[in-house]
Amino acid sequence: MIGSGSAPAERHAAALRASGVEVVDLDPGDGASGIDGTSRRLSAALHRGSPAALALRSARRADPRDALRSIREVVSRVLGRDPGLDLVMTGGETARVVLDHLGIDSLTPLGQVEHGAVVCRASDGRLVATKPGSFGGPDVLVKLVARVSELRPPSLPVPPTPGDPMDTVPAAASDNRPYIAVTMGDGAGVGPEITVGALVDEAAYRDARPVVIGDAHRLRLGAEALGITVEVVEVNDPSEGVFVPGRINVIDPHLLSTDLPWGQVSAEAGNAAFHYVRIASELGMAGKVQGICTAPLNKAALHEAGHVFPGHTELLAHFMGVGEVSMMLSTPKIKVIHVTTHIGLIDAIAKIEPGLVERTVRRGWEALRRAGVENPRIGVCAINPHAGENGLFGYGEEAEKITPAIEILQAEGMLVAGPLPADTAFFLGGRGDYDLIVAMYHDQGHGPVKVLGIEAGVNITVGLPVIRTSVDHGTAFDIAGTGTVGVGSMIEALRQAVEMSPRPVAA
């Protein structure tokens, strides 16, 4: 389904035609008769046994809402005749409309053919490939169709007969511990030390198969600083790792010089940290790791290297082709998710609106459900002191920007309360009345968390195709290389990554 009539979309459709895929045009302006005719032509093309495409095309500018309604109606009719079809879709709104119509509530990434062009397994079992709007090279849809075709089983497998050699499965094939990519962060900071410290913890390999994306030499220096004896072994792929205590498997792109000084901002370390995150993201999107755990990077070093991103959260979203994610901070005492993060306070207040608040709460609710909280209790902070005190403070921001979202969520049965004065919300959250607090802006959430448990705090990025956790502290240049850094937060970050990551299918 090509949900756009833009010039790049037309080029993508032309490439599909050239590859032999039959492309059926849909003009929303043709009304019911056009929908009926398009549905019949598309079904006929599919029944010939080959892939077929639905392309939006209009001689006049179509209302986007009419276009989406037309696509949804055609898909409904075609899938009504053949419900087992796999799907390739362009455009976030197109995908949302179709997936919502089908009742698909989750997608598990299997791989990508280009950045942002991802093939997933849907919750109903079908294959679903998506890409953002007009994004991608001219043959990106051809690649996605080919990958989906490759992944489609030609027939159900025949069970082996007793005594058949295939009836005996090696013990290693039943290992369903998730692979976790652990990025080393900025090599001049405490990242190498806390990475080593977390991976020599007795629980590191019990429930996971962690693979470091970083620098092998720097990890050895980190182990030396901590006074730890460990074997650091380079591998080319997570599947090559040997996951036993005392051994650290590392994918090393060799981006750091051996004499990189500790505790100094450098473009070299910033660039390496950038690429560690890129590699981890690519492994996640390819299904080779099920979770990502990150050691801290340094924003100044990142920017000095020419990679202008506010932080890890935005960097991961960029690499995974996700437009909107949320930052959740987790400590033993309280969990906090942020509606806005790395923008100025005036910009944050301007950005807050009911849709963003609602989506943020939903992401937090879903994350807690994955972590085993059956019916999360959520407290939502106000923007103004005393939640505006009935108009005494502010300009009605709570009523305009927050309350409508809460009412929608409450109507669905979610245990959501607010808008609450922030000081009250965090007091009640710290006391245990809420499983999650929703903060409106960065410092509203970060300040209380750092008081209530930064030592064991974990930063979780919610809304990515692959779970990502991180320590809730920085590169600590002042103590880097001294062996004095605490590793508890990194141990907890790895534990939570394992807890929230899906188990891979045994090979």
- What is the average pLDDT across 124-131? 84
Element (H or E) spanning 460, and its range? strand 458-462
Q: What is the reported pLDDT for 405?
A: 97
Tell me what pLDDT residue 265 has. 97
Q: For position 160, what pLDDT does the model report?
A: 38
pLDDT value at 90 more than 90: no
Secondary structure (3-state) at 458? strand
- The pLDDT > 70 percentage for the chain reads 90
For 470-473, the CB contacts below 8 A with 24+ separation are: 470/293, 470/294, 470/295, 470/296, 470/312, 471/194, 471/294, 471/295, 471/296, 472/329, 472/331, 473/296
Q: What is the pLDDT of residue 507?
A: 44
| Cβ count near 322 (within 10 Å) | 17
Residue scoring higher pLDDT (83 or 103) = 103
* Average pLDDT estimate for 58-74: 68
Number of residues written out for the chain: 507
Quote the radius of gyration of the chain (alpha carbons, Å): 25
- Across the chain, what does the average pLDDT equal? 85
Amino acid (one-letter) located at 464: L
Q: How far apart are CA 270 and CA 225, in angstroms?
A: 22
Mean pLDDT, range 256-263, rounded to an integer? 96
SS3 (DSSP) at 87: strand
| Residues in CB range of 150: below 8 A, 6 or more apart | none
- Asked if 114 and 137 count as a contact pair (C-beta separation under 8 A), the reply is yes
Q: How far apart are CA 25 and CA 144, in angstroms?
A: 19
Pick the range with the lowest mean pLDDT from 102-106, 152-156, 334-338, 366-370.
152-156
Structural domains in the chain plus CATH codes? 7-151 (3.40.980.20), 175-324+477-507 (3.40.718.10), 326-463 (3.40.718.10)
pLDDT tens across 164-206, in order? 333 322 334 467 889 999 999 999 999 999 999 999 987 889 8
pLDDT band at 54 (very low <50, low <70, confident <90, very high): confident
Specify which residues 378 forms β-bridges with.
Answer: 416, 436
Least confident interval from 36-40, 57-61, 295-299: 57-61
Q: Is 498 helix (H, G, I), strand (E, B) or coil?
A: helix
Torsion (CA) 249, 250, 251, 257 in degrees, nearest 10 = -160
- How far apart CA 280 and CA 294 sit, in angstroms, is 9
Bond into 504 cis (ω within 30): no
Residue 242's alpha-carbon distances to 42, 203, 217, 497, in angstroms, are 49, 16, 19, 20
Percentage of residues of the chain with pLDDT beyond 90 = 45
Confidence of residue 161 (pLDDT cuts 50, 70, 90): very low
Higher pLDDT, 99 or 158: 99
Long-range contacts of 343-351 (CB under 8 A, 24+ apart): 343/310, 343/442, 345/441, 345/443, 348/440, 348/441, 348/442, 349/383, 349/397, 349/440, 349/441
What CA–CA distance (Å, rounded) separates 405 from 152?
A: 40
C-alpha triplet 27, 31, 34: angle, nearest 5°: 55
Neighbours of 423 (CB within 10 A): 12
Per-residue model confidence as pLDDT tens digits over 421-468: 999 999 999 889 999 999 999 999 988 887 876 556 688 888 888 889
Q: How far is CA 92 from CA 68, 324, 325, in A?
A: 11, 11, 14
pLDDT at 92: 67
* Residue 7, number of CB atoms within 10 A of its CB: 9
From the CB of residue 393, how many other CB atoms can be counted at a distance below 10 Å?
15
* pLDDT band (50, 70, 90) for residue 13: confident
| DSSP output for 480-491 | TTTT----HHHH
The two tokens of residue 234 are 């380079």
Cβ-Cβ contacts under 8 Å for 1 (sequence gap 6 or more): 53, 54, 71, 75, 87, 88, 89, 90, 94, 98
Average confidence (pLDDT) over 277-291: 93
Residue 41 pLDDT: 81
pLDDT score recorded for residue 441:
96
| Strand pairing report for 127-131 and 117-122 | antiparallel
Q: What integer pLDDT is reported at residue 206 of this predicted model?
A: 87
Residue 163 has pLDDT above 50, yes or no: no
Work out the number of other CB atoms within 10 angstroms of the CB of residue 271. 18
Distance from the Cα of residue 460 to its chain's centroid = 10
Give the model's confidence band at 17: pLDDT under 50 very low, under 70 low, under 90 confident, else very high: confident
Q: Are 277 and 183 in contact (CB under 8 A)?
A: yes
CA-CA distance, 399 to 396, in Å (whole number)?
6
Instruction: Report the pLDDT averaged over residues 229-237.
Output: 95
Closest by CA to 332, choosing from 183, 498, 210, 491, is: 491
**For the segment 133-152, what is each residue's pLDDT rounded down to a tens digit?**
656 778 888 988 988 888 87
> How far apart are the C-alpha atoms of 495 and 457, rounded to whole Å?
12
pLDDT confidence of residue 58: 55
Which pLDDT belongs to residue 51? 87
Return the pLDDT at 282.
94
CA distance 26 to 13: 12
Query: Measured between alpha carbons, how far is 413 from 404 in angstroms, rounded to an integer?
Result: 15
Q: Taking the model in full, what pTM does it have?
A: 0.60
